[in-house]
Amino acid sequence: QVQLQESGGGSVQAGGSLRLSCTASGATYTRTVTGWFRQAPGKLREGVAAIYRGGAPPVYADSVKGRFTISKDNANNMVYLQMNNLKPEDTAMYYCAAGQTYLGYQSLTPSAYSEWGQGTQVTVSS
């Protein structure tokens, strides 16, 4: 089992930036992919970005390409999501998730993950 904890959410104005962090603990060696997802009220959970523990390039949802960057610190079991040029439509609860198999673009699908954090709220005002 892997435990995940997100941090770094908050309220910003449109055009601002936030950096989310995901801290993993437990049997982290069994999980090769970490993803960031978000869910706004009344909407389905959607994949934002995913990163492989090895060397494959990360994947991003089209809606965040060029604005968000996912990165990892394997030594400290951390994954980050740098969010720049935030828009009101980015407002959501953001979750990190851990999975066993990197599936490329399919790693933006919630069913690819077995463990989830509790989430951190991001609110972007216009």
Q: What is the mean pLDDT of each run of 10 residues along the chain (126 residues)?
A: 96 98 88 95 96 91 97 94 98 96 90 96 97
pLDDT of residue 105: 87
Q: What angle do CA 53, 45, 19 make, to 5 degrees?
A: 55
pLDDT of residue 102: 86
pLDDT of residue 58: 96
pLDDT of residue 2: 92
What distance in Å separates the CA atoms of residue 105 and residue 58, rounded to the nearest whole number? 9
What distance in Å separates the CA atoms of residue 99 and residue 1, rounded to the nearest whole number? 11
Within 13 Å of residue 92, how many CA atoms lie on the same side as its CB? Answer: 21
Q: Which two tokens stand for residue 62?
A: 């089209």
pLDDT of residue 7: 98
Handedness of CA 104, 105, 107, 112 (dihedral sign): negative
Beta-bridge mates of residue 37:
47, 95
* Cβ-Cβ contacts under 8 Å for 62 (sequence gap 6 or more): none
